[in-house]
Amino acid sequence: MIVNMKREATEEQIEHVIERIKECGYQAHVIRGAERTVIGAVGSGGNRSALEALQAAPGVEDLVPISQPFKLVSTQLRSERTIVDVGGVPIGGEHWVVMAGPCSVESREQLLATARGVRDAGASILRGGAYKPRTSPYDFQGLGVEALELLREAREETGLPVVTEVMSTEDVDVVSEYADMLQVGARNMQNFPLLRRLAKVKRPVLLKRGPSATVKEWLLAAEYLLSGGNPNVVLCERGIKTFESELRNTFDLAAVALAKELTHLPVVADPSHGTGRRSVIPAMSRAAIAAGADGLMIEVHPCPERALSDGPQSLDLPAFAKLMQEIERPARTRLSNSVRA
Amino acid sequence: MIVNMKREATEEQIEHVIERIKECGYQAHVIRGAERTVIGAVGSGGNRSALEALQAAPGVEDLVPISQPFKLVSTQLRSERTIVDVGGVPIGGEHWVVMAGPCSVESREQLLATARGVRDAGASILRGGAYKPRTSPYDFQGLGVEALELLREAREETGLPVVTEVMSTEDVDVVSEYADMLQVGARNMQNFPLLRRLAKVKRPVLLKRGPSATVKEWLLAAEYLLSGGNPNVVLCERGIKTFESELRNTFDLAAVALAKELTHLPVVADPSHGTGRRSVIPAMSRAAIAAGADGLMIEVHPCPERALSDGPQSLDLPAFAKLMQEIERPARTRLSNSVRA
Amino acid sequence: MIVNMKREATEEQIEHVIERIKECGYQAHVIRGAERTVIGAVGSGGNRSALEALQAAPGVEDLVPISQPFKLVSTQLRSERTIVDVGGVPIGGEHWVVMAGPCSVESREQLLATARGVRDAGASILRGGAYKPRTSPYDFQGLGVEALELLREAREETGLPVVTEVMSTEDVDVVSEYADMLQVGARNMQNFPLLRRLAKVKRPVLLKRGPSATVKEWLLAAEYLLSGGNPNVVLCERGIKTFESELRNTFDLAAVALAKELTHLPVVADPSHGTGRRSVIPAMSRAAIAAGADGLMIEVHPCPERALSDGPQSLDLPAFAKLMQEIERPARTRLSNSVRA
Amino acid sequence: MIVNMKREATEEQIEHVIERIKECGYQAHVIRGAERTVIGAVGSGGNRSALEALQAAPGVEDLVPISQPFKLVSTQLRSERTIVDVGGVPIGGEHWVVMAGPCSVESREQLLATARGVRDAGASILRGGAYKPRTSPYDFQGLGVEALELLREAREETGLPVVTEVMSTEDVDVVSEYADMLQVGARNMQNFPLLRRLAKVKRPVLLKRGPSATVKEWLLAAEYLLSGGNPNVVLCERGIKTFESELRNTFDLAAVALAKELTHLPVVADPSHGTGRRSVIPAMSRAAIAAGADGLMIEVHPCPERALSDGPQSLDLPAFAKLMQEIERPARTRLSNSVRA
């Protein structure tokens, strides 16, 4: 940590900061510049929180952190990439996977038709919501345990492992019983009691990035899971909120590339929520893979115009099958210099 | 709801949309323009969710909502302003209140000193965190029940009612026992299981705006509380996330003015989190009141540089006392035209 | 400047950075920590740009600036507040001013009626656009020189000095002939050739904040004017672009308070563009003054529904007169503790 | 255009709006709903600006545009994709191109070494700044005409056409003399006098997206060029400003996919400015091509740590050569279902 003193800081204030740095368990290195004094707090065994409070000390302009605040998720601690096993399907490493299915589980027919369709098209994991976080209390809130039962049936029939969202600590046990991977939704990324509870389950966790979370905050949310005991975490980029309103969210693929640099955990991407617009999902699916994503999560519904949630961003089964083929299509031929000749 | 058909939409697609509008319980009014057809879905008894799914129907460009999605919180439903009683202190109406106290309850001495100080300076309600949502798992997470006990003691000594955050459905009962108002933190604004649970308690709820929540989403979160049975809700603006990084958040006072136009619920503002910078808190406190806020929530700590959380944005007791005087200071004299003479 | 080396940086890379720091005209202070090495570049006479390029040197994690990049605009260089004289009306200092008028000058009748109306209500400066930056090429682009002539006539009749926008270096001369203050629009805040040209005129400049400009970038734009020779600069906050779409922009009043801390230049605020919604303009005008703004810029039109630009955010004359009275109304009575007794 | 009347709108207000719609040259279609009245303004020959001002009329809640505001750039007007010829290199169509070179032209040696290097690695167009928009007046502002001379020399030697930025109407003539394509920088995207001037030149224009411009605003800026007479426009995504501060900008690849849907103009992407971080540029280059970009613009410098601008985001020549090979590398093998067996 670097403590940047104000230009007008007094000797007494500088001395006070040096004292506090030592009390917090660090060594203090002072650099006296032409305009101001800067003090480095060096060491690894000190109390970082206490040190950070020094920002409020008299004469301090601001504090500049030098090292990243996360540890267990960091590639600096572990250079080998983590591969998470989801009911037999590995996420991370050399391959990439597709998780597909309806936004909400609505009925037996809807779910089974979708599950068979996405499996036949090449998906490896089935997604489907049983508990739905909805902006309005008047919207469909999910079928709950009934949906979990249907997901189990779909898994038995298709062989696809299941990922589904858990919204509350109270539902963790029942969802763990049915699902192969538990999803933390974007709006719960910083629901810390939920993260602490999920750190104790024996299931992998899919951690969606919050709509206004920086990559650092996202990794610190994952740090709650790892430091609490659950090393099987998959990160999922799903778009952030920006001024651009033509699409539902701004799909931040550079965050996928950056996250893969900073953490050894697998990182997947959700172009359905990331854009909210069906017509651009194929292009963004290919882009996500090109950016290094370890997989995709895609919403599919047999009849999007009758979906109880997220119809506009759901692909129907033929569109999904087409997407699966397109993802593997090689990029367009590059213009060779000879074209100009 | 207006259904905006694509330019190239076929007659068959238009007919299909009209059919579906009727099936959803609305009447369809068709406007055929020079370039495209637009269909109005009219009526109040239909199934809005089902109607919204039409965005995914063939030939549909997009859907345009005409009426606001919230109801019970709206000034259109209730024109009289709601006044919420917090342990004897009314929020809303003609007056405004100040809620002050430490970010976290850290010790008996710290809390009691702060409580006495803010009461003497004119605060009406004591704030203090027992359960703390922290970005990093390595930061101080709050004293829990021990803090609740201390808050009760502080209330008994100072007479100030207490507001404190509840982070999980599991803690709702115990926090309700101790607190006069339960706070939903910004990161939990869309924690819907928590909102549904709080709709059933007999305590007022302070609902902080999420860092990336639009005013509409904020009001819909409040709608969860009202529609679930709790009419005593106070909204709190506390800053949103934007590109500007010089301050911790962008304090959105126009949202206070807008919210007061759209809802009858009281709206307060938190310049401590809203800016994160002690030096601008007095100016922004005055601005919040001028914008129409029904109250302020301000972080105060006897020794900010030793605070276990949010020291940089906490005022010490003398600074808080000074702020309380400044809030009431009249604005600077306006330049009269005669100055130019 | 602090150079933060990577954990894995080699001795050779550290030595290379130290050498380059010296070549750039600074002294290098090395702090070797438990995990990494940090190097401070100290001194005031060096080449900052060359130093910044070191971020690209091998082994460097990142660079952390310690001092602000602006100079002449800074309160660190000049503690006395600047007062800018606009045709006899001072901006800055103890008073605040109101600049009002139509978005665009549309006709003689429209302008004169507005000018008389705003003067009678208490405005001190007349605003009105002759050259209009419009998002679409099919929208009204302003009357140009004809509008400048009308503004001169309005000034002669009402005695109000005039502020109007200049969009291009080519128009600087003609606009300077007619206007008392030249406005740089938000979208031109970083039009550097325009700023360099305006640094040479004998008129004060009103510099609007860009919709995605940080406060630092705004102050650096002002630094172009001061360093080029024009000390008479008024800053104007007019809203930034964020995810919130209910209002046209997010009006950032904390930026006003922050700017007044960082610079000695006067800072005014434009609640018309800042919110885009007529109903909240009075509240936000009062809030801006309370936040410390040195003045307001407000759009007024005799018949907003026939305005050729920005009608929805324009006040009509009676609404403006009412606003002028409200700005001076004292804030609502504070709830005393005795209320609870 | 749909005019959404307030619930409490009177008959008289409704009649007034209907009258005005007719005066503006449209037909009015009235839909009277259970809660409110909605009025459609239909027709294509009316005065859209005048119609939009109706938002300010009494009784009007808001206006909802139904058709896009741009015309000539739209795929609705022209379904065939535009191919822009830049000194013999086509942009758009089946192929994609790479434009590469230094941020700023700094010297003969630097430019020629870079030009040869990027040509040998497979780039088709040379980029290099002669006039530099710099946030601070104390940073290197470009060599101007001297740089243009050097670019001409580099073109002659390497055969690569040249793209370079023009910042001011005053420089358009001289830059047109030397460059094969004129670049409008992000901060000038809405410099309308510059756009109007460039609409009259015989050179193609590369139009960078502004850091806070929506896709619609970007297309309207292009509309200035097309409606003014220049059909040869290439759009360039280069990142937008958001709350995420770990990278310089948020690279918005969905905007590329969306723009290609809305316009027939070619769309390229600049991952150097789009991310500002060298390590993620290869991944984002591949992602941009996968998203459908018609080309890339990449900053290359022989010695980034001595670059006078944008060193941290510049690739050196070996890194650029490696990138060119990677772009064409097929995506990783997809996980087949058999992996789970």
Could you tell me the pLDDT band of residue D332, with boundaries at 50, 70 and 90?
Answer: very low
For the record, the structure tokens of B128 come out as 């203090």
Q: How far is B207 from chain D (nearest CA, A)?
A: 23
Work out the mean pLDDT of chain A and round it to a whole number: 92
**Please, which residues bridge with residue D60 across strands?**
D5
Structure confidence at residue D287 (pLDDT): 96
Q: Would you tell me how many other CB atoms lie within 10 Å of the CB of residue B301?
A: 29
Percent helix, strand, coil in chain A (nearest 5)? 40, 20, 40
Q: pLDDT digits over B19-60, tens only?
A: 999 999 999 999 888 778 999 888 877 888 889 889 999 999
Residues of B in contact with D31 (CB under 8 A): 29, 31, 40, 42
Which pLDDT belongs to residue A333? 42
> Using CA atoms, how far apart are residues D142 and D128, in angstroms rounded to an integer?
10
Token digits for D285? 């280059």
Question: Which whole-number Å values give the CA distances from D33 to A286, B41, B42, D4, in the listed order?
Answer: 45, 8, 5, 11
Separation CA A312–CA B236 (nearest Å): 32
Q: What percent of chain C has pLDDT over 70?
A: 96
- For a pLDDT cut of 70, what percent of chain A falls above it? 96
Closest alpha carbon to D152 in D121, D176, D170, D122: D176
| pLDDT given at position D339 | 38
Q: pLDDT-derived band of residue D329, with 50, 70 and 90 as boundaries? A: low
Q: Which chains sit next to D, with 3 or more Cβ pairs under 8 A?
A: A, B, C
**Is C332's pLDDT higher than 80?**
no
Q: Which residue of A181, A212, A285, A286 to mutate against D (max D Cβ within 10 Å)?
A: A286
How many residues can be counted in chain D? 341
Q: Name which of B314, B334, B320 is nearest B103 in CA terms.
A: B314
Please, which pLDDT band fits residue A1 given cuts at 50, 70 and 90?
confident
The yes-or-no verdict on residue B107 having pLDDT over 90 is yes
What's the mean per-residue pLDDT of chain C? 92
Q: What does the pLDDT read at residue B268?
A: 98
Mean pLDDT of the B197-211 span: 97
In this structure, of A41-55, B203-217, D96-110, the range with the lowest mean pLDDT score is: A41-55
What pLDDT does residue D215 have?
98
For C99, counting Cβ atoms within 10 Å of its Cβ (0-12 exposed, 13-18 middle, 19+ buried), the class is: buried
Report strand pairing: A89-91 vs A97-101.
unpaired
The DSSP string of A203-236 is S-EEEEPPTT--HHHHHHHHHHHHHHT---EEEE
The token pair at B104 is: 């976290």
Which residues of chain A have a CB within 8 Å of the CB of C7? 76
Q: What is residue C145's predicted lDDT score, i.e. its pLDDT? A: 96
* Calpha distance C127→C118 (Å, rounded): 10
Instruction: Please say whether the beta carbons of C255 and C219 come within 8 A.
Output: no
The tens digit of pLDDT for each residue in B290-331 reads: 999 999 999 999 999 999 888 889 999 999 999 999 886 544
Q: What is the pLDDT of residue A329?
A: 56
Task: Tell me what pLDDT residue C339 has.
Answer: 38
Residue A121 sits at the vertex; the CA angle it makes with A119 and A127, to the nearest 5 degrees, is 45
Closest Cα partner for D189 from C191, C170, C214?
C191
| Two structure tokens written together for D280 | 């993620």
pLDDT for res B229: 97
What are the residue ranges of helices labelled H in B203-304?
215-228, 253-262, 271-275, 281-290
* Bridge partners, C205 (sequence order): C182, C233
Confidence of residue D341 (pLDDT cuts 50, 70, 90): very low
Torsion, Cα D65 D67 D69 D72, to 10 degrees, reads 180
The verdict on B288 touching C (C-beta cutoff 8 Å) is yes
How does the average pLDDT of chain B come out, rounded? 92
Min distance D179 CA to chain A CA atoms (Å): 17
Residues of chain C found within 8 Å of residue B243, distances taken between Cβ atoms: 212, 214, 240
Pairing of strands B125-127, D97-101: unpaired
The widest CA-to-CA distance across chain C, in whole angstroms, is: 76
Six token digits for residue D279: 């390590």
Nearest-angstrom CA–CA distance, A184 and D222: 42
Min Cα distance B191 → chain C (Å) is 20
Determine contact: A338 vs chain D, CB below 8 A: no
Kindly state the average pLDDT of the residues A134-156.
94
* Coarse DSSP helix, strand, coil percentages of chain D, rounded to the nearest 5 percent: 40, 20, 40
B34 touches chain D (CB under 8 A): yes
Mean pLDDT throughout C293-305?
A: 96
Euclidean distance between CA atoms A148 and C321, whole angstroms: 63
Long-range CB contact pairs, A182-186, < 8 A, 24+: A182/A206, A183/A127, A183/A208, A183/A236, A184/A208, A184/A221, A185/A133, A186/A210, A186/A211, A186/A238, A186/A273
Chain A contact for C122, CB < 8 A?
no
Give the range with max mean pLDDT: A99-108, B68-77, C65-74: A99-108
d(CA D26, CA D270): 43
pLDDT in tens, B80-89: 999 999 999 9
What residues contact residue C131 under an 8 Å CB cut-off, 6+ apart? Answer: C141, C142, C144, C147, C164, C165, C166, C167, C168, C171, C175
Q: How many CB atoms neighbour CB A282 within 10 A?
A: 24
Count of CB atoms within 10 A of residue B285's CB? 27
CB D292 within 8 A of CB D254: no
Could you tell me if B43 lies within 8 Å of chain D, comparing CB atoms?
yes
* Residues of B in Cβ contact (< 8 Å) with C162: none
User: Could you tell me which residues come within 8 angstroms of residue A26 by beta carbon, excluding any fewer than 6 positions away?
Assistant: A1, A41, A42, A43, A46, A51
Taking the Cβ of residue C279 and every Cβ of chain B, the question of whether any pair is shorter than 8 Å is answered with yes
Mean pLDDT of C175-199: 97
Poorest-confidence range of A30-34, B243-247, D219-223, D265-269? Answer: A30-34
Closest CA to D325 of D122, D126, D158: D122
Please state, in angstroms and rounded to a whole number, the distance separating the CA atoms of residues C51 and B274: 35
Q: pTM score, two decimals?
A: 0.94
Chain D positions touching A257 (Cβ under 8 A) are: 275, 280, 283-284, 287
Which pLDDT does position B13 carry in this prediction?
95
CB contact, 8 Å: D67 with chain B? yes
Write the ipTM: 0.93
Nearest to D104 by CA among D151, D60, D57, D64: D151
Half-sphere exposure (CA, 13 Å, Cβ side) for A48? 16
Confidence (pLDDT) at B66 = 82
Would the pLDDT of C202 be above 90? yes
The predicted model gives A306-311 an average pLDDT of 88
Chain A within 8 Å of D64 (Cβ-Cβ)? no
Give the gyration radius of chain A's Cα atoms.
Answer: 24
**Cα separations in angstroms, A113 against A131, A322, B43, D300, D303:** 20, 17, 34, 51, 58
Q: What is the pLDDT of residue A290?
A: 94
**Single-letter code of the amino acid located at A265:** L
